[in-house]
Amino acid sequence: MFPLHRGRRLRVNESIRSLVRETTLSPSDFMFPMFVTEGENVKVKIPSMPGIFRRSIDLTVEEVKEIYALGIRAVNIYVKVSENLKDNTGKEAWNKDGLMQQAIRAIKAACPEMIVMPDVALDPYSVYGHDGIIANGDVENDSTVAALVKMAVSHAQAGADFVAPSDMMDGRVLRLRDGLDAAGFHNVGIMSYSAKYASAFYGPFRDALDSAPVDTTDIPKDKKTYQMDYANRIEAIKEALSDVEEGADMVMVKPGIAYLDIVREVKNAVHVPVTVYHVSGEYAMIKAAAERGWLDNDKIMMEQLMCIKRAGASLISTYFAKEAAILLNK
């Protein structure tokens, strides 16, 4: 009660503010999404994501070593495969000598302590750009889940620490857990994309992997039959709770900043770590505004990451991971 209580006493200088700060960030709070491409000594700029590249495996390994030295302890791996390897079955996804499997082995060999969480979805391998197998004009749930199990087991065999299903098929966490356990991978975890919304913020990511749905009349033109409606809140809680019941070790909310209410709701509902994906569109907007001098890149970056952590994130998957870690280490 004023004047006995003055909130500004706790804001007088940075030393006092740091003493009472409720939320803190460290490099170990971040996971770095990485795009892997074929070839050797290949580093390709992604125009819609300044500072982010598709790298061949050799250069990916070098980047992993660098970010590990900065204190980042997890990477989320995505691959851009050749068009001739794509079909409607996604069978390249569980090729033991596929690009993803080679990347996992190379990273774990070079940096064994780095936690590797490969993406589990069929869109990089699909001629249609969808996360599953097309049948009767739609993404068929159960046959897709069967394919995802093969994919996840192949990732575990290559050395993955967690698998990260981003497909949003019904029941896939339970099937993945059963499949991993049956193959002897009891300690390989599942980080489930539980509340993944059908968002327009994913555009730059699809540029990076060339994985946007094909625009044809006989299949869905978008992913709204399996990704969530962004108008819904209760559904996110239901999906997260269901995934935990099915065996998920972590759950994810995606996107990040525009969905902080969902992050908090999910955090309050589950008793497992909550990961938040600060997605490509959120990254690209900051970069574009900063390039024009409209925003301060570093200040906005740190504010958004802090807000995601404050909302309840245990781990933040962000393209800013390396930049933020460098800044925090200074």
Alpha carbon distance 196, 262 (integer Å)? 11
* H helix intervals, 129-233: 141-158, 172-182, 203-209
Report the distance separating Cα 247 and Cα 239, nearest Å.
Answer: 13
The residues facing 254 across adjacent strands are 196
Four-CA torsion 38, 77, 185, 167, nearest 10 degrees: -110
CA angle 313, 263, 237 (to 5 degrees): 125
Q: Which one-letter DSSP state was computed for residue 64?
A: H
* 13, amino acid identity: N
Q: Could you tell me the CA-to-CA distances from 197 to 26, 83, 204 in Å, in that order? A: 27, 27, 16
Residue 167: phi and psi, rounded to 5, are: -80, -30
**β-strand pairing of 115-120 with 162-165:** parallel
Catalytic residues: 196, 254
Cis peptide, bond prior to residue 204, ω within 30 of zero: no
| Residue carrying structure tokens 């870690």 | 325
Q: 239 labelled as ligand-binding?
A: yes
263/313 Cα distance (integer angstroms): 7
For residues 104 and 118, the answer to whether their CB atoms sit within 8 Å is yes
State how far the Cα of 256 lies from the Cα of 266, in Å rounded to an integer.
13
Annotated binding-site residue numbers for Mg(2+):
239
Annotated binding-site residue numbers:
239
